[in-house]
Amino acid sequence: MIDDRQMMVTENAARRIRELQAQDEFKGMFLRIAVSGGGCSGFQYGFSFDDQRNDDDREFAAHGVAVVVDDTSLDLLNGAAVDYVQEMVGSAFRITNPNATSSCGCGSSFAI
């Protein structure tokens, strides 16, 4: 069976991932993105650095970095893009998710 689910990583996100990986605490790790229940819209995005891959993980490589998403989260993130945005009020990884029917004002939670 061919798995054609995809996730995009922007150059800005890759640059920030590399900057974080240069720090001792994140050396040799990859960015893991997961979706969990909660947040003000029903689901919320989670970002962490990890050095262990699970059997149900799918890796997306772009611009020299790897991002890992578990199979269940990928069902909700298929076609999404992870970006890193810097604004006056702060900076953060941000997901643009074509599957979301709505999201909260801060962009960290969404509904399907």
What is the pLDDT at residue 109?
A: 58
pLDDT at 23: 95
pLDDT digits (tens, 9 = 90+) for 34-86: 998 876 667 888 999 999 999 999 999 999 999 999 999 999 999 999 999 98
Confidence of residue 5 (pLDDT cuts 50, 70, 90): confident
Helix (H, G, I), strand (E, B) or coil at 2: coil
Q: What is the pLDDT of residue 53?
A: 94
Q: What is the pTM of this model?
A: 0.85
- pLDDT of 6: 92
Query: In this structure, what is the dihedral angle of CA atoms 71, 60, 98, 12, given to the nearest 10 degrees?
Result: 140
Sheet holding 30-38, edge to edge: 57-62, 65-70, 30-38, 42-50, 109-111, 102-103
In this predicted structure, what is the pLDDT of residue 68?
97
Structure tokens at 72: 């269940």
